[in-house]
Chains A and B, each alone.
Chain A
Amino acid sequence: MLRLFLVHSLRYFARHSVQTLLNVLGVALGITVFISIQIVNYSAIQSFRASVDVVAGRANLELTGEGIRFDETLYTMVRNHPDIASATPLVEVVVPLPDFRGEYLQVMGVDVFSNAPLRSYDFVGGQTVADPSRAMTFLSDPNQIALTEPLCRRLGLKLGDTLRVSTSKGPRMLKVAFLLKLGEDQRKDGKARQNDIEAGADEHLAVMDIATVQEVFGFSGQLSRILAIVREGASPERVAAELSPRTPANVEVRQPDRRGQKIERMVGAFQLNLTALSLVSLLVGAFLIYNTVATAVVRRRTEIGILRALGMTPSQVRLIFLAESLLQGLIGVALGIGLGIVLAGQLIGIVSKTISMHYILISIQQLFISPWSIVAAVGLGCLGVLIAAWYPATEASRVPIVQALHTGYLREKSLRHTRSWLLGGVAMLGLSVAVAQIALRWGPAWLSFGSALFLLLGVSFFVPPVCLALSELLRGQQVYKNMLLDIAVGHFGRSLHRNSITIAALVTAISMVVGISTMIFSFRKSVENWLTQSIQADVFLSPASSLIGVRMPIPKEVVEIAQKAPGVVAADLYREIRIQYKQNTVKLATFDFTQATRLTSLTVNEGPSAEILPLAAKEGHILVSESFSRRMKVKRGDIIPLLTTTGERNLYVAGTFPDYTSEMGLIIVDLAKYREWWRDDTVNSIALYADNDTSAQPIQDYLREKVAPYGEFSIFSNMALRFLVFRIFDQTFSVTYVLQTVGIVISALGIVLNLSILVTERRREIGLLRAAGASRKQVQAIILWEAGMIALVGAFLGIIAGLGLAAVLSYVINMSYFGWTITWATPWPFLLWLPVWVIAASIAAAYLPARKASKINIAAAVKQE
């Protein structure tokens, strides 16, 4: 029997191929977006993990300063611990390549003697694995470097070539002496095995001799990390606990895998948001499925009647409809997974850049597809389809047999209970508000997405009553004199059961567009206001590598040149590091508070910055960003412990301030105190203030000429920096535009599907109109008018729902995850133009069904029933 029904369903699909295709596409696009985001997210994490694995090798213990280097004498202490089998020091530095725009190296300075037991890479000279002793040549020539094979291939480098790198002492030429084979394990017999290839590790990894790195990049006597293997039988946790008290306060002793977990936590919220947005497309697809199944129930009512008359049970009828939906859903899911992989390939660059800019330098080399994301896509796709199909399938099972065997039933049925829909909508909106309150007050944070979901469902529930009200209003008023419009309004009113679902899908898609656009618009305005207050200098100088997310120090000579440039009256030195606070990575920035008070108008929420900042500089107080304050529940007057290079310090929080540079949270401390506590006098960027007679341009020209020998630098005017900030801002949100577009495409498919169905349902009526003298153009006009009405209601409710969604995104989801302060701003021109675009797009989507309607065979259509 199963085979027979499969054959039956497939033949039905073949007979209604356009409808089936649209349905499958609807599911496929929803899944495409979902799976592509999953793949991109997973690839980012996997790439990072792979790189961590290569760097950490087979170490099961590491000492790290989390970005701040520490004294190399610590290495002797670790190596001499009785339970340490082997240990190796490491210096890491990110080095820009001035000859290759946007390219960089993640250089590891290694000790070739001690790292042999730990490393998970090999040096290859030409085709064969090099004799380990050849690695010794690193020591003989300090200008040698080993690069990965993929990077060499991409940059067109080969063994023996020279490569220019930027250092804090100016450019330096290095010779490509070896290729790095990542992840290969060197056995004692000298043969390589490929059991743990670190697939996906960053191709930018490079290896140099540790002493050379220390000398070339100015880190003499300093280390980034110490990697160690604990003796067999000893516990890494215990050894870590023993070593910890003997290390400086800012050095953490831990197992290497914890680093990956920290990064995952850091980018988790960003990735979760993308996932949630991708699910909206799936929701739009579900509306499409609902509509198709509901249509099939109407179209196949005679078939249902026959089967029931022949002894099929109601549950068997429901099962058939569910199984057919599932079949289409599965085809859609399979197609969606394929398309998703393609889309992921397109998105990966954007996401990679965004993560590098905001969180951590990452280069995603290949796509990683987690089996779980495939399982999730199949599960969500099937579940979505079954939920969407359940109600209409149940309706089908309840069709009275005698009525099913006669035509005319069910068409006008479904929207009699508009009051229930209205009440349901109000209840959903109530739930949305309640869930938002719970998420904000008590958490968990993910509950905030529930608020958005209930909001979208709530507004969808309002569609039937609004449609009914509109059609009754238009019918009652007789404000139009157009007969075709009259007929179209009549059709619209009578087909609410079908139109409502299409409009609900359209409302969901439009609300996503409006919601995200309004949130981004408000966010942009807030950033703009903040920039006006906080960025007031005329010229900004930083290493060029900062544009690709690499924070390099500015050489002291360059700082001096900038400070003494003609026309410059003041220079603000800025340094930024990442520190740990309660197991979270946060940013710590420093600048001269007293000077900042004089030159800028930094906002401090708790009072005048002119009083608070100088006092903070004098007393050693810190200030925290609003996002830090919200996430860590820290406010003015609190005292918080911070690990500095000179030990843990309990610091008084003098105030909070708006900031849009880091969702991780930002702490600011006066420059003098920072240098004292962290023993770090490097600078990441300089802001220069010109005197009244000098414009930015001559200062920029002067700097370009003078600092060129010291490396590559970005020198921006105030306006250019603002432009850059907004370019990064827009890049951050570019993925969401892709998601919005897919949502809109799905709902356009919905309109095509809906009108195709309506044309089929109204065959006889259209035939009668044609028989009564209506021209093909007139029939087309009726269908197009109706499409216009669908779009109008969709746009109207979509905008309302979208503004609600923007509020949820800005004040519930944002507050739960990021804590940015977003001041509401309404993008009026966008909102006013949107209905015009939606109506135009709907009419375009309706053109094919309208053509189909105008070409029906009049005699056959009239005879049909």
Chain B
Amino acid sequence: MIRIQNATKSYGEGASAVAALRGVSLEVPAGQFIALMGPSGCGKSTLLHILGGLDTLEKGEVYLDQKPIHRMKEQELTLLRREKVGIVFQSFNLLPTLTVEENVMLPGLLAGVSVPGGVTLKERAAALLEEVGLTKRSRHMLHQLSGGETQRAALARALLLKPPVLLADEPTGNLDSEASANVVRILRELGRNNGTTIVMVTHSREVAGMADRLVQMRDGRVVDDPGTECAEAAAAS
């Protein structure tokens, strides 16, 4: 589903340039839930942004569903974000001027497309809100919600158009442990139910433990990846 080869990216210019990714390679099969862990500045969020078409690579290749993201133009990247990727942020990033339901429906309204499966946007939003336990909050404004509820709304929004890939950038960073566990549980269940590939960046070992696979990063490199070991072992045998 996702294939990253030798991804390299730095910020700034000349002597003040900081390398964010130093030749990262990674493969994620369809439907897998992986967690990226590592200290601040190790490049995990940059990697997530590149997968979501939010940022571009300097060097290397990234394929999503065998499509080369690294060669895509702005218009194609916009389409990628609409159709293939759902994103959940640490700071929720919902629009405070819209209700919960309106926020969830937003990607569908922007794309101007219907939900795969023949249901209307409203029905799909209602179903998702029920799954994340926010049916009663659908008409509320964001300031009336708790942190956990807001993140669950963001999760519903990310899954509205049934994207094959869900990217979550520290989705529990602003939540207490109970709310965190709740959000990740829902994330995993919804992912499984929809066959979604999930890449989650987190600092929490507990949260990471709920993923299928844990990838460790440091200084812009992957330093520990059981997936690679399995692949190497398989190749050796």
Contact = CB atoms under 8 A, between A and B. Distances in A.
Contact of A311 (B55, B81, B95): B81
B72 interface: no
B87 interface: yes
A502 B161 CA distance: 44
Contact of A11 (B49, B79, B93, B97): B97
Most central of A12, A307, A309, A313 by chain B CB within 10 Å? A309
A313 B95 contact: no
Interface stretch (A1-9, A105-113, A535-543, A740-748): A1-9
B81 A405 contact: no
Interface residues of A, number: 24
B74 to A, nearest CB: 7
A313 B81 CA distance: 10
14 contacts: A1-B109, A4-B105, A4-B109, A306-B94, A306-B95, A307-B95, A309-B81, A309-B87, A309-B93, A310-B110, A311-B81, A311-B111, A405-B54, A405-B89
Interface string A397-434: 00011100100000000000000000000000000000
A314 B79 contact: no
Contacts of B82: 310-311
Contact of A312 (B98, B105, B110, B157): B110
Contact of B102 (A4, A302, A308): A4
Nearest to B92: A306
B110 A316 contact: yes
A306 B93 contact: yes
A781 B109 CA distance: 47
A310 B81 CA distance: 6
B55 A402 contact: yes
Contact of A8 (B52, B93, B98): B98
A308 B98 CA distance: 16
Interface residues of B, number: 27
Contacts of A314: 74
A313 B111 CA distance: 10
B79 A311 contact: yes
A305 B107 CA distance: 13
Given A8-B95, A8-B98, A11-B97, A309 B54 contact: yes
Contacts of B75: 313
Contacts of B110: 1, 307, 310-312, 316
B26 interface: no
A13 to B, nearest CB: 10
A339 B75 CA distance: 45
B177 interface: no
A611 interface: no
Given A11-B97, A310-B81, A311-B78, A402 B109 contact: no
Interface in A5-53: 7-8, 11-12, 15
Given A4-B106, A311-B107, A405-B89, 11 more contacts: A7-B102, A8-B97, A12-B97, A306-B93, A307-B95, A308-B81, A310-B82, A311-B78, A311-B79, A311-B82, A401-B55
Contacts of A313: 75, 78
Nearest to A5: B109
Nearest to A303: B95
B117 interface: no
Contacts of A307: 95, 106, 110
Which of A8, A302, A402 lies at the interface centre, i.e. has the most chain B CB atoms within 10 A of its CB?
A402
A312 B95 CA distance: 14
Contacts of B109: 1, 4
Interface in A464-509: none
Interface string B59-90: 00000000000000011001101110001010
Interface of B: 49, 52, 54-55, 74-75, 78-79, 81-83, 87, 89, 93-95, 97-98, 102, 105-107, 109-112, 157
Nearest to B45: A402
A15 B49 contact: no
B98 A7 contact: yes
The secondary-structure label for the interface of chain B is helix
Nearest to A10: B97
Contacts of B89: 405
Contacts of B95: 8, 303, 306-307
Contacts of A11: 97-98
A815 B93 CA distance: 60
Q: Is the interface of A mostly helix, strand, loop or mixed?
A: helix
A11 B98 CA distance: 8
Interface string A292-324: 000000000011011111111110100000000
A487 to B, nearest CB: 27
B228 to A, nearest CB: 27
A402 B54 contact: yes
Contact of B93 (A1, A305, A316): A305
A766 B88 CA distance: 32
Nearest to B83: A311
Contacts of A402: 49, 54-55
A628 to B, nearest CB: 64
Greatest chain B CB density within 10 A among A302, A305, A306, A311 is at: A311
B93 A302 contact: yes
Nearest to B94: A306
A177 to B, nearest CB: 71
A303 B81 CA distance: 16
A401 B93 CA distance: 12
Contacts of B98: 4, 7-8, 11
A454 to B, nearest CB: 36
Nearest to B112: A1
Nearest to A302: B93
6 tightest CB-CB pairs across the interface, nearest first? A311-B82, A11-B97, A1-B109, A401-B54, A311-B81, A306-B93
Contacts of B87: 309-310
Contacts of A15: 97
Nearest to B109: A1
The listed residue with most A CB atoms (<10 A of its CB), out of B49, B55, B109, is B109
Nearest to A9: B97
Contacts of B102: 4, 7-8
Contacts of B97: 7-8, 11-12, 15
A4 B99 CA distance: 10
A723 B54 CA distance: 74
A15 to B, nearest CB: 7
A8 B103 CA distance: 10
B19 to A, nearest CB: 16
A310 B55 contact: no
Nearest to B93: A306
B106 A310 contact: yes
Nearest to B102: A4
Contacts of A7: 97-98, 102
A302 B96 CA distance: 11
Contact of B107 (A12, A310, A401): A310
A513 B95 CA distance: 44
A8 B157 CA distance: 17
Contacts of A303: 95
A380 to B, nearest CB: 30
Contacts of A316: 110
A323 to B, nearest CB: 15
A764 to B, nearest CB: 16
A314 B97 CA distance: 21
A856 B12 CA distance: 35
Nearest to B107: A310
Nearest to B79: A311
Interface in A252-303: 302-303
A402 B49 CA distance: 7
